[in-house]
Amino acid sequence: MPPETTHLAANRRLPSWREMNRDTSPEVEALLLKLWRETPVWRKLEMMESLNRAARQLALIGLRRRFPHASPAELRWRLAVMSLGEELTVRVLGPCPG
């Protein structure tokens, strides 16, 4: 099996980098990889932190829409469930406060 192939449950294969970026020319791809390699580690970490913060904010927006009357504590609990699963969230944080 090629290294770029990853399998999910039920043998569904994740798309490779090339399959996901068919609209990117090889020259642009080479430039992107060059720039990424030249980016300092501290900047990559800063970028990842920013992406994680944005994902958390989007998840909270979605939770607020689905549970408009939920308290901040309940929203935090539900956000934890999205990351950890309900079983671990209950073990760590206890039952849903709402």
pLDDT tens digits, residue range 8-40?
556 788 888 778 888 889 899 899 999 999 999
Check pLDDT > 90 for residue 44. yes
pLDDT: which is higher, 83 or 98: 83
Over residues 50-87, the pLDDT tens digits come to 999 999 999 999 999 999 999 999 999 999 999 999 99
Nearest-angstrom CA–CA distance, 51 and 49: 5
Q: Could you tell me the sign of the dihedral formed by the alpha carbons of 29, 34, 39, 40, in that order?
A: positive
What is the pLDDT at residue 1? 44
Nearest-angstrom CA–CA distance, 64 and 74: 10
Supply the pTM of this predicted model. 0.67
* Residue 56 Cα distances to 7, 53, 80, 83, 91, angstroms: 27, 5, 10, 10, 21
What is the pLDDT at residue 93? 95
CA 18 to chain centre: 20
Domain ranges of the chain: 1-38, 40-98
Nearest to 79 by CA among 51, 64, 69: 64
What is the pLDDT at residue 32? 92
Check pLDDT > 60 for residue 6. no
